């Protein structure tokens, strides 16, 4: 991998990382300031508080999802250091920077991904036909 590509990929990953850290920190701040600025807290009726609970759960799930994405980014940065990041899993070619910017965790190049999708569609079609054929046989039997 040449130096420019390395620097570019690193930039893509670090930008994405910073975005997510900001979002998570923003959320944490929201949750905290809501608690601090809400003198009514503690006198919510049951419906209100269960609604707040659901809201909390959603927030928590979102934060958890972002934390998982952060792990993936760290993993990608590690692979970048090793020089294995940004290569297609199928053909070993470099995945374009444009593609990685849109999909930082892409493991296949565009061509291989498309070929895979076509193959999957074909498999689904074959499976459907097979299903229809066996249904027909069942009816005969
Ligand atoms: Zn490929």
User: pLDDT tens across 18-76, in order?
Assistant: 999 998 888 777 767 765 555 555 566 778 888 888 888 988 898 899 999 999 999 99
Q: What is the mean pLDDT of residues 74-87?
A: 93
Q: What is the mean pLDDT of residues 126-138?
A: 82
Q: How far is CA 139 from CA 48, 129, 135, in A?
A: 56, 15, 6
Give the Å distance between the CA of 79 and the centre of ligand 1.
Answer: 18
pTM: 0.68
Give the Å distance between the CA of 107 and the centre of ligand 1.
Answer: 9
Give the Å distance between the CA of 88 and the centre of ligand 1.
Answer: 5
Give the pLDDT score at 10: 96
Give the Å distance between the CA of 27 and the centre of ligand 1.
Answer: 38
- In 83-102, which residue ranges form alpha helices assigned H by DSSP? 97-102
Residues around the ion ligand 1 (C-beta < 5 A): 88, 90-91, 109, 112
DSSP string, 34-85: HHHT-TTTT---HHHHHHHHHHHHHHHHHHHHHHHHHHHHHHHHHHHHHT-T
Provide the mean pLDDT of the chain. 87
Give the Å distance between the CA of 121 and the centre of ligand 1.
Answer: 18
Higher pLDDT, 35 or 108: 108
């Amino acid at each position: 991998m040449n130096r420019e590509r390395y620097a570019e990929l690193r930039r893509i990953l670090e930008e994405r990382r910073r975005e997510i850290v900001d979002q998570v920190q923003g959320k944490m701040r929201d949750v905290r300031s809501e608690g601090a600025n809400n003198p009514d807290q503690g006198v919510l009726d049951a419906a209100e508080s269960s609604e707040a609970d659901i809201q909390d759960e959603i927030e928590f799930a979102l934060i958890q999802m972002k934390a998982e994405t952060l792990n993936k980014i760290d993993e990608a940065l590690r692979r970048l250091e090793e020089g294995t990041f940004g290569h297609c899993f199928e053909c070993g070619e470099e995945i374009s920077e444009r593609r990685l910017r849109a999909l930082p965790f892409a493991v296949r190049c565009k061509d291989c991904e498309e070929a895979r999708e076509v193959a999957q569609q074909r498999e689904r079609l074959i499976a459907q036909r097979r299903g229809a054929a066996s249904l027909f046989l069942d009816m005969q039997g």
